[in-house]
Amino acid sequence: MLDFSMTIGGRKVAGMERFAVYNPATGAVVGHAPNASPADLDDAVAAARAAFPAWAALPDAARAAACAALAAKLGEQAEEIARLITLEQGKPLGALGSRFEMGGAQAWAGYTAGLSLPVKVIQDDNTGRVELHRKPIGVVGSITPWNWPVMIAIWHILPALRAGNTVVIKPSPYTPLSTLRAVEVMNGVLPAGVLNVITSDDQLANIGAAMSGHEGIGKIVFTGSCATGERVMATAARTMKRLTLELGGNDAGIVLPDCDPAVLAEGLFWGAFINNGQTCAAMKRLYVHDSIHDAVCDALVAFARGVKVGNGMDEASVLGPVNNRMQHDKVSRLVADATQTGRVLLGGAPDDGLFFPITLVADLPEDAPLIREEQFGPALPIIRYTEVEEAIAAANASENGLGGSVWSRDIGRAKEIALRLECGSAWINRHGAIQPNAPFGGVKRSGIGREFGEEGLAEMTDMQTLFC
Ligand code: NAD
């Protein structure tokens, strides 16, 4: 049994109570995590506040070196943590699964360690000198979801630490173990209290909500659903917390008529089905021109048939189960409705336990819930269009605006269309590809702020303008 402790002020804290974490592939208990009380949260915030002055006062190069050491440390334990991710999250060890996630975590950590925010000289002439300084905020509270637990934790932790803040992180109750272990490992190279982790089942106490309102936390970086993001924003208002909110998406892909369906199939498939569709910037609606619609459907079905779904610990699995019952129920509801109003090309009915087959559905009405709502699971609606203006309007007719893509041999034309999509990231001939130097985030109800690159690092700071 895998039982981990919280790390608070560099010490292991078991907590008064614990909760079980389940393997979504088998239903078996993987291990237990501490169920933090509000007093544990106060302790974690106090530890982070105590560690802040010394961490913030370190020379910039020393903090950069500590962050680089942290990235290396994570690399040493990558296989162990990857296995934990598979056990509690469900994604396979191989393919675009948990080893891939750990590779991403290391890449982001290493890149972010090397970033810096030098003083910007706004004016320097005989009337005076004006400088813009970036200063750490204090304690950053990080709240993470269950889909890419360690990679998203790194997206939050590294820029916060690199900019001179200290951190309290709270992972999802579905995937706490990999974060508990990753933080324990990273504490091996950090001063006590700089990085703290607490875990909660959200029942004994809602620690995420308590963090959002906590007087001792200066900023919340939150990745999760739109509904919870709204709650975080409302609760954070009273203390005027700085916020980065990375929320849900309902990304559209638009395939133009000049495409070769056979060439496209693999890219379209992984754009939609990476991590079983449980990815914020996965393609969740696919608009295909009438002239190649049926050929694209056939090519996608043929590709999907070759993808092995199974227990993530089996090296042959390429996709795993859905992570949790609530998410499985949501996908089941959306697909059950779609089977009534559309044409199921593949899959369609839930499998045993939390498994759900790769599902492709065509010919749905425009207002089908599978098109309108974020499915966050392995089911893709394919929608026929005749005029590209129709497809652009439909893609933009969403309250979300995380990502979007255009697929064409004519890059110039694709670019024109991509720039008209109302979303934070737009891709041409791929979907959902992210990288540590390119700002990522949503427009409309998909969130506020950006992660990654210098822009993401800057969000972990407050500005001070100095008039010399
Ligand atoms: P969720 O909103 O249910 O939970 C996210 C986190 O919030 C968890 O740690 C949870 O414990 C915590 N939480 C619960 N109640 C809270 C409250 N009142 N205040 C503060 N925190 C609280 O989301 P989820 O189901 O874990 O993740 C799936 C969603 O996340 C999807 O909508 C997906 O699109 C989105 N997501 C977005 C991104 C992105 O970068 N935009 C990335 C991954 C996931």
- Residue 178 and residue 210 in one domain: yes
Residue 80: give its domain's CATH number.
Answer: 3.40.605.10
Model pTM score: 0.97
Domain that holds residue 336: 251-428
Asked if residue 415 belongs to a domain, the reply is: yes
Asked if residue 304 belongs to a domain, the reply is: yes
pLDDT of residue 2: 87
174 CA: nearest ligand 1 atom: 26
Amino acid at 346: L
5 in contact with ligand 1, CB cutoff 6 A: no
Tokens of 453: 């690159």
- Residue 234 and residue 334 in one domain: no
172 in contact with ligand 1, CB cutoff 6 A: yes
Could you give the count of Cα atoms lying within 13 Å of 100 in the half-sphere of its Cβ? 13
- Residue 194 and residue 314 in one domain: no
246 in contact with ligand 1, CB cutoff 6 A: yes
pLDDT of residue 18: 97
CA of 247 to the centre of ligand 1 (A): 7
* Residue among 228, 235, 327 whose CB has most ligand 1 atoms within 8 A, to mutate: 228
- Residue 241 and residue 288 in one domain: no
- Residue 454 and residue 410 in one domain: no
* Residue among 91, 170, 225 whose CB has most ligand 1 atoms within 8 A, to mutate: 225
Active-site residue, from 88, 246, 374, 459: 246
DSSP result, 270-282: HHHHGGGG-STTS
- Residue 241 and residue 224 in one domain: yes
CA of 223 to the centre of ligand 1 (A): 5
- Residue 190 and residue 268 in one domain: no
145 in contact with ligand 1, CB cutoff 6 A: yes
Q: Which residue has the tokens 């907590």?
A: 15
143 CA: nearest ligand 1 atom: 9
228 CA: nearest ligand 1 atom: 2
* Residue among 170, 201, 212, 280 whose CB has most ligand 1 atoms within 8 A, to mutate: 280
pLDDT digits (tens, 9 = 90+) for 281-295: 999 999 999 999 999
Asked if residue 437 belongs to a domain, the reply is: no
Asked if residue 134 belongs to a domain, the reply is: yes
CA of 122 to the centre of ligand 1 (A): 39
- Residue 119 and residue 176 in one domain: yes
Buried b (16+ CB within 10 A) or exposed e, 454-464: ebbbbbbbeee
- Residue 240 and residue 261 in one domain: no
263 φ/ψ angles, rounded to the nearest 5 degrees: -70, -35
Amino acid at 77: Q
101 annotated active-site: no
220 in contact with ligand 1, CB cutoff 6 A: no
Residue with CA nearest ligand 1 atom 9: 172
142 in contact with ligand 1, CB cutoff 6 A: no
Asked if residue 131 belongs to a domain, the reply is: yes
Residues of the chain with pLDDT under 70: none
212 in contact with ligand 1, CB cutoff 6 A: yes
246 annotated active-site: yes
pLDDT of residue 375: 97
H or E segment to which residue 464 belongs: strand 461-467
- Residue 72 and residue 169 in one domain: yes
- Residue 359 and residue 269 in one domain: yes
Asked if residue 158 belongs to a domain, the reply is: yes
Residue with CA nearest ligand 1 atom 34: 248
396 φ/ψ angles, rounded to the nearest 5 degrees: -80, -10
Asked if residue 438 belongs to a domain, the reply is: no
CA of 457 to the centre of ligand 1 (A): 21
pLDDT of residue 354: 98
CA of 326 to the centre of ligand 1 (A): 13
Residue 329: give its domain's CATH number.
Answer: 3.40.309.10
Asked if residue 78 belongs to a domain, the reply is: yes
Q: Which residue has the tokens 């779904």?
A: 309
Is residue 90 packed enough to be buried (19+ CB in 10 Å), middle (13-18) or exposed (0-12)?
buried
Tokens of 278: 């449980």
202 CA: nearest ligand 1 atom: 11
- Residue 168 and residue 265 in one domain: no
| Domain tally, the chain | 2
